[in-house]
């Protein structure tokens, strides 16, 4: 399944973004390239991204939008039971509310990264100052709790713009995208999540799942993700693939 626009993000709204609307007077090919550069998480038109790791007998499971009690803690339990490591891209406002889960992540050998302060869906419209504030507030919250400031950033929904990319560079961070997406924020079963991930995954892939609820999804659930995870890890093990944290798998420091 190729990466595509998040299901709950209106195409009409995206077309209003100056970066996209500015392509209206260009050729169809140029307009398509502009669209692709914003929406496709793996696009490197706006900025370099990392979506694979080098180890040939491992993959990197990553979890977004936490920490969220009731889901994050159970994901951590499952990872510990299977002697596996992962990476968590955290929302700053959630970090402030649940610091004990962040401390636990690091204590159990997982990597933490920046996923903005509030994961606002309309953030893609904003300029450089907005993004710099989102990044710095989240990194400061993490540093206050753990003493570590992340060097890894995952853009909300994977959307990238030039103002955002400038802020990421100014904050000395790198984009982490993915090659496999579980689509587990949709209302799908644990079996479907497992099938989506395991049917696509290959050595070296970064996989994105969700252990948390972004602010606009407060009444939703990641129960299916929690239930799918044990079977995903069992299948990976049967294929000889370890689940590594990005700190274990990447060849550069993941903290500043």
The conformation of residue 15, written as its DSSP 8-state character, comes to: H
pLDDT one-digit tens code per residue, 52-97: 999 889 999 999 999 999 999 999 999 999 999 999 999 999 999 9
Cα distance between residue 199 and residue 197, in whole Å: 6
User: How confident is the model at residue 239, as a pLDDT?
Assistant: 97
pTM for the model stands at 0.86
Q: Which are the contacts of 86, defined by CB distance < 8 A and separation ≥ 6?
A: 60, 61, 62, 63, 75, 79, 110, 111, 243, 245
User: How confident is the model at residue 121, as a pLDDT?
Assistant: 80
User: How confident is the model at residue 104, as a pLDDT?
Assistant: 98
Question: Half-sphere exposure (CA, 13 Å, Cβ side) for 28?
Answer: 0
Nearest residue to 68 via CA among 211, 186, 183, 210: 211
* DSSP secondary structure of 77-96: HHHHHTT---EEEE-HHHHH
User: How confident is the model at residue 44, as a pLDDT?
Assistant: 79
Mark the ranges of the chain whose per-residue pLDDT is less than 70: 1-26, 29-40
The domains of the chain, with CATH numbers, are 10-39 (no CATH), 49-249 (3.20.20.370)
List helix spans (H) across 147-189: 162-170
Q: Cβ of 202: how many Cβ atoms within 10 Å? A: 12
Q: Cβ of 47: how many Cβ atoms within 10 Å? A: 18
Q: Which are the contacts of 161, defined by CB distance < 8 A and separation ≥ 6?
A: 17, 19, 38, 46, 124
* 106-129 per-residue burial string, b: 16 or more CB within 10 A, e: under 16: beebbbbbbbbbbbbbebbbbebe
Which regions of the chain does DSSP assign to beta strands (E)?
A: 49-50, 58-66, 87-90, 111-114, 152-153, 174-176, 180-181, 206-210, 242-243
> Residue 242 forms beta bridges with which residues?
58
User: How confident is the model at residue 125, as a pLDDT?
Assistant: 83
Helix or strand or coil: residue 62?
strand
> What amino acid positions are annotated as catalytic residues?
64, 210
User: How confident is the model at residue 231, as a pLDDT?
Assistant: 98
């Amino acid at each position: 399944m190729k990466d595509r626009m998040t299901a709950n993000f209106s195409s009409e709204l995206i077309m209003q973004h100056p970066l996209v609307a500015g392509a209206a007077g260009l050729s169809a090919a140029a307009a398509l390239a502009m669209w692709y550069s914003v929406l496709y998480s793996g696009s490197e038109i706006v900025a370099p991204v990392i979506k694979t790791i080098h180890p040939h007998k491992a993959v990197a499971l990553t979890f977004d939008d936490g920490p969220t009690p009731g889901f994050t803690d159970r994901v951590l339990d499952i990872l510990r039971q299977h002697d596996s490591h992962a990476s968590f891209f955290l929302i700053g406002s959630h970090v402030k509310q649940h610091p004990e889960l962040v401390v636990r992540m690091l204590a159990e050998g997982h990597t933490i990264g920046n996923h903005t302060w509030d994961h606002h869906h309309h953030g893609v419209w904003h300029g450089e100052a907005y993004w710099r504030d989102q990044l710095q507030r989240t990194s400061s919250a993490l540093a206050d709790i753990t003493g570590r400031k992340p060097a890894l950033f995952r853009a909300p929904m994977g959307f990238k713009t030039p103002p955002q990319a400038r802020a990421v560079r100014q904050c000395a961070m790198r984009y982490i995208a993915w090659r496999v997406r579980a689509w587990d924020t949709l209302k799908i079963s644990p079996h479907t999540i497992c099938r989506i991930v395991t049917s696509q995954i290959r050595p070296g892939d970064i996989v994105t799942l969700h252990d948390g609820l972004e602010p606009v999804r407060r009444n939703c659930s990641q129960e299916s993700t929690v239930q799918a995870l044990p079977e995903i890890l069992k299948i990976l093990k049967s294929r000889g693939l370890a689940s590594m944290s990005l700190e274990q798998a990447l060849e550069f420091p993941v903290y500043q």
